[in-house]
């Protein structure tokens, strides 16, 4: 296993929000022992205090990594989001500070899809209100308003990793699947893409949202979209809380236009399990409310823990950035016998020749060199003989436009 320029026990890793034990196991097996493990997220001031000398930080969806946090965390090299969403991280600020961000894009998708299918069945059978009534001593034994999902139309908004899995499972239950996506997608099975969102809403008995949090999806589902849904249809959201206008949804539940809803994500979510959960949807028995647990299964969390921790280890040990969400992606072989220089810089003209001048001016032979850029930054990796790495690192750090340079050996 490769060594790094810092002793591994000096590399501080902070894991927040109770990431799975598999993450700890993976990091420890790779030789990292300086790990601070917390079960919750932290408010901004405590977060800054905790990670100001950390090299790696692992979070889930609650921790907000803002520009201010990146400015304070001077030693931070990389962030691992132990989830799919990365909207809680200011990715531009991370990139500008030379911090590579990784996530787990697929490990919990099946868990979300299973939950959505279960919720669709429960809502069409009016189970949430029957369950609530039973808890209060009621007995709503009736078939009124209760339907099978077989033969019903499911409208999926966002036909990505999760949307497609929901589609396949739904067809297995005999549902008709239609989807709306801003990108043309290959439909799986007999699903059909509908080009106009209003057309999708007008024909769906169940509408399920699976879009990412983007400026373009903020409140994309509000009063107008709800009004276009079929009377009595149900709405599911396990994507992001910013996507649905909750007040508009509450009004539609009140009027009965929406027959039921299952919401897993909210505009404001409690920071910890001890904080009160506040939403206007609490008053409705036909609102199935869950505490952002779409991806919270043992299988998903264990897989995510291993996947993201492995990405952090690879980046720390040998500089590989494959599947980073904000860095140019470079797959690197091991570098035994050489020292490896990693140089992150602004993508501006002339910088590559300045880097190469460091080696030619100092008569340093390059054993191998890798370069990848995106529109904002470049990432150059150079393997050289060990004896020259200190001087080269020194010179590389002086190049104008350098964001971060480090050496691995
Ligand atoms: N509830 C949970 O616990 C949980 C778990 C995992 C993921 N998520 C969330 O689920 C969402 C989807 O995840 P995914 O892995 O399927 O993402 P994905 O990137 O694979 O798919 C998203 C799809 O949405 C489409 N899209 C983007 N903007 C759109 C718009 N305005 N209208 C229609 N389609 C649009 C994209 O083209 C893409 O096909 C993400 O927000 C993620 O954070 C939630
Ligand atoms: O585990 C979490 O906190 C977030 C889960 C989910 O929203 C994701 O983005 O993967």
Return averaged pLDDT per consecutive 10 residues of the chain, 409 residues in all. 66 97 98 96 95 97 96 97 97 97 97 98 98 98 98 98 98 98 98 98 98 97 98 98 98 98 97 92 98 97 98 96 96 90 95 94 93 94 90 95 93
8 A C-beta contact, residue 237 and residue 221: yes
Q: Judge if the beta carbon of residue 321 lies within 6 A of ligand 2.
A: no
Smallest Cα–Cα separation from 57: which of 67, 71, 68, 70? 70
Residue with tokens 């920071």: 271
DSSP strands (E only) in 357-401: 366-373, 377-384
**109-124 vs 127-135: helix axis angle to the nearest 10?**
70
Instruction: Examine the residue annotation and report whether 292 is marked as an active-site residue of this protein.
Output: yes
Instruction: Examine the residue annotation and report whether 223 is marked as an active-site residue of this protein.
Output: no
Q: What is the pLDDT of residue 5?
A: 67
Pairing of strands 402-408, 192-193: unpaired
What phi and psi, each to the nearest 5 degrees, are found at residue 130? -70, -40
210 CA distance to ligand 1 centroid (A)? 4
Number of the ligand 1 atom closest to the C-alpha atom of 109: 6
Q: What is the largest CA-CA distance in the chain?
A: 86
272 CA distance to ligand 2 centroid (A)? 14
DSSP strands (E only) in 188-289: 192-193, 206-209, 234-237, 260-263, 287-289
DSSP structural state of residue 239? S
Considering only CA atoms, which residue is closest to atom 33 of ligand 1? 181
From 15, 60, 272, 301, the mutation candidate for ligand 2 (largest count of ligand atoms within 8 A of CB) is 60
Say which of 292, 335, 340, 343 is annotated catalytic. 292
CA 176 – CA 151 distance, rounded (Å) = 6
373 CA distance to ligand 2 centroid (A)? 29
From 40, 84, 239, the mutation candidate for ligand 2 (largest count of ligand atoms within 8 A of CB) is 84
Q: What is the pLDDT of residue 3?
A: 41
Work out the angle at residue 51's Cα, subtended by the Cα atoms of residues 47 and 52, and round it to the nearest 5 degrees: 110
What phi and psi, each to the nearest 5 degrees, are found at residue 97? -95, 10
Residues 6+ apart with CB under 8 A from 150: 173, 174, 175
Considering only CA atoms, which residue is closest to atom 9 of ligand 1? 239
Number of the ligand 1 atom closest to the C-alpha atom of 212: 41
Say which of 269, 271, 376, 404 is annotated catalytic. 269
Q: Judge if the beta carbon of residue 81 lies within 6 A of ligand 2.
A: no
Q: What is the pLDDT of residue 1?
A: 33
Smallest Cα–Cα separation from 292: which of 17, 100, 5, 67? 17
Question: What sign has the CA pseudo-torsion 329, 84, 164, 111?
Answer: positive
DSSP structural state of residue 294? T
Q: Which residues, judged by CB distance below 6 Å to any ligand atom, belong to the binding site of ligand 1?
A: 84-85, 108-109, 112, 157-163, 180-183, 210-214, 216-217, 220, 238-240, 264-265, 292, 294-295
8 A C-beta contact, residue 170 and residue 176: no
CA 100 – CA 91 distance, rounded (Å) = 9
Residue with tokens 């290959």: 186
From 110, 239, 244, the mutation candidate for ligand 1 (largest count of ligand atoms within 8 A of CB) is 239
8 A C-beta contact, residue 54 and residue 75: yes
How many residues are there in the chain? 409
Number of the ligand 1 atom closest to the C-alpha atom of 160: 21
CA 390 – CA 388 distance, rounded (Å) = 6
Residue with tokens 């470049």: 378
Which pair of structure tokens corresponds to residue 321? 């950035």
CA 206 – CA 170 distance, rounded (Å) = 11
Residues 6+ apart with CB under 8 A from 43: 271
Cα Rg, the chain, nearest whole Å: 25
CA 261 – CA 198 distance, rounded (Å) = 19
ipTM of the complex: 0.99
Say which of 240, 335, 345, 406 is annotated catalytic. 240
Considering only CA atoms, which residue is closest to atom 30 of ligand 1? 182
108 CA distance to ligand 1 centroid (A)? 12
Smallest Cα–Cα separation from 79: which of 13, 25, 31, 29? 13
Number of the ligand 2 atom closest to the C-alpha atom of 83: 10
CA 156 – CA 147 distance, rounded (Å) = 19
Q: Judge if the beta carbon of residue 210 lies within 6 A of ligand 2.
A: no
Which pair of structure tokens corresponds to residue 345? 């810089």
Instruction: Examine the residue annotation and report whether 269 is marked as an active-site residue of this protein.
Output: yes
Q: Which residues face 263 on adjacent strands?
A: 237, 289
Q: What is the pLDDT of residue 271?
A: 82
Which pair of structure tokens corresponds to residue 152? 């019903």
């Amino acid at each position: 296993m490769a060594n790094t320029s810092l002793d591994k026990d000096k590399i501080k890793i902070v894991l927040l929000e109770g990431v799975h034990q598999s993450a700890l196991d993976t990091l420890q097996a790779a030789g990292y022992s300086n790990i601070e493990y917390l079960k919750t997220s932290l408010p901004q001031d405590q977060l800054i205090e905790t990670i100001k000398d950390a090299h790696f930080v692992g979070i889930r969806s609650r921790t907000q990594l803002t520009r201010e946090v990146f400015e304070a965390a001077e030693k931070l090299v990389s962030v691992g989001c132990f989830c799919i969403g990365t909207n809680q991280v200011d990715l531009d600020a991370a990139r500008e500070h030379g911090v590579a961000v990784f996530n787990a894009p697929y490990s919990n998708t099946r868990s979300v899809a299973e939950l959505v299918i279960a919720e669709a069945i429960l809502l069409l059978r009016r189970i949430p209100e029957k369950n609530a009534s039973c808890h209060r001593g009621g007995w709503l034994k009736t078939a009124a308003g209760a339907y099978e999902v077989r033969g019903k139309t499911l409208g999926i908004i966002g036909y990505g990793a999760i949307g497609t899995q929901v589609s396949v499972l739904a067809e297995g239950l005999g549902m008709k699947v239609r989807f709306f996506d801003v990108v043309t997608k290959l439909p799986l099975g007999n699903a059909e893409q509908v080009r106009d969102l209003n057309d999708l809403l007008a024909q769906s008995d169940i509408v399920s949202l699976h879009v990412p949090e983007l400026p373009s999806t903020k409140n994309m589902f509000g009063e107008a979209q709800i009004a276009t849904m079929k009377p009595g249809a149900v709405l599911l959201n396990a994507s992001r809380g910013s996507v649905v206008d909750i007040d508009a949804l509450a009004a539609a539940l009140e009027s009965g236009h929406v027959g039921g809803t299952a919401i897993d994500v909210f505009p404001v979510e409690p920071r910890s399990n001890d904080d009160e959960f506040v939403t206007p949807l609490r008053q409705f028995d036909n609102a199935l409310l869950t505490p952002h647990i779409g991806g919270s299964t043992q299988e998903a969390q264990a897989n995510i823990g291993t996947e993201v921790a492995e990405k952090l280890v690879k980046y720390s040990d040998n500089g590989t950035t494959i599947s980073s969400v904000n860095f140019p992606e470079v797959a690197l072989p091991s570098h035994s016998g050489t020292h490896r220089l990693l140089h992150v810089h602004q993508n501006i003209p002339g910088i590559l020749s300045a880097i190469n001048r460091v080696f030619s001016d100092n008569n340093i032979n390059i054993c191998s060199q890798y370069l990848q850029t995106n529109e904002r930054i470049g990432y150059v990796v150079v393997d050289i003989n060990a004896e020259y790495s200190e001087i080269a690192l020194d010179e590389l750090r002086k190049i104008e436009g350098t964001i971060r340079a480090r050496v691995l050996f």
